[in-house]
Amino acid sequence: MKKSPSLFLRKTIISIFIVLVVAAMIGCKFLPKTIGNTIGTYIVDVCLLTVAMIGVFEMCNIMERINKPTNKLLAFIYPIFNFVVLLIALKFNKIYFVVLTEIVCLLIYFLVVLLTELITSKNTFKQKAKISFNTLLTCLYPAFMFCCFLIINHCDVYFDIKNISVVFILLIIAITFLTDTFAYIVGSLLHGPKLAPKISPNKTISGAVGGLIGGVAGAMLVYALVYNVTSFSALLTNFNVSWWGFLIIGIIGAIVGQAGDLFESFLKRKAQIKDTSNILGSHGGMLDRVDAMTFNVVFMLIVVIILL
């Protein structure tokens, strides 16, 4: 069944809008010091928090559809709590401390949810515990995983190198976007055996290979940018990262991103829905757009930690 011209036009307009928002978000990182040395970083924080909070809302709806109720309000608030903890932990200027603090506070938040359920809910203790655990899962995915993006957004602090965070942000976006694009194009052209028919009937092995090529292409494009732009080249000179380092990041990022895509497809299949919401019109929900990126954010945070 062919897509109608009006549907194609709507999808194209929304795609252009998403690209412009992402470009503006990255552009905020280069705001001059006269406007504020960190205001651009905080603008990006607000964008990331907005995505995380919408993703949490969509995930809560998915959990309800698979008969796993959550405390929606506390799940929705968690990204803000995560950000406040991050701002406090940043004062210590140690990424290991930041990550450890965020993990500990995630567990503390679970106890807060459980205590809230015990005090306010009339359910049985078993039901209260289940709701609290389901809420924790929602805080973990997508909130905690995507909020790792906030840590990466502030990694200039850990490295003490201006705009180094832009390199990692570009890697996340380029690898995720080109993996998805190449997987779609190659899969549509070559078809062939299905990758995981019980989870996502439309995904093929040829598409997965195409996605792998796209992920590598994305990483190498960022390498070319870093190699040729002086303000970014500190990543190469300070940390001895060569082209093959970017190649490995591209390969792993493509695999991790496609795993995130499959995970989201698995959840939607269990919930028996096509899209997580219609907030982006014909593009579906926020999680439909950032499912692969959420997994790649965690992977890129691991890369940052290894470099440090």
| Average pLDDT, integer, range 37-56 | 88
Q: Is the pLDDT of residue 3 over 60?
A: no
Extract the runs of DSSP E, i.e. beta strands, from the chain.
194-196, 200-204
Average pLDDT of the residues of the chain: 87
pLDDT score recorded for residue 8: 60
pLDDT tens-place string over residues 191-216? 888 877 778 778 889 989 999 999 99
pLDDT tens-place string over residues 76-94? 999 999 999 998 998 887 8
pLDDT score recorded for residue 224: 92
pLDDT band at 275 (very low <50, low <70, confident <90, very high): confident
Q: Is the pLDDT of residue 152 over 90?
A: yes
pLDDT score recorded for residue 7: 60
Query: What is the count of structural domains for the chain?
Result: 1
| Average pLDDT, integer, range 94-100 | 87
Determine what percent of the chain is predicted with pLDDT higher than 70: 94
pLDDT score recorded for residue 105: 94
CA neighbor of 126 nearest in space, from 69, 76, 73: 69
pLDDT score recorded for residue 32: 66
Residue 223 and residue 243: Cα distance in Å, rounded? 7
pLDDT tens-place string over residues 210-266? 999 999 999 999 999 988 887 777 777 777 788 899 999 999 999 999 999 999 989
| Side-chain half-sphere exposure of 91, counting CA atoms within 13 A | 5
pLDDT score recorded for residue 1: 44
Distances in Å between the Cα of 49 and the Cα atoms of 45, 145, 154, 235, 298 are 6, 12, 14, 27, 16
pLDDT score recorded for residue 284: 79
pLDDT tens-place string over residues 99-149? 999 999 999 999 999 999 999 888 888 899 999 999 999 999 999 999 999
pTM: 0.89
Task: List the beta bridge partners of residue 196.
Answer: 200
Judge whether 57 and 76 are in contact, CB under 8 Å.
Answer: yes
Domain that holds residue 83: 5-307
| Average pLDDT, integer, range 146-156 | 91
Question: Which residues lie below 8 Å from residue 183, measured CB to CB, with a gap of 6+?
Answer: 203, 207, 208, 210, 211, 214, 258
pLDDT band at 190 (very low <50, low <70, confident <90, very high): confident
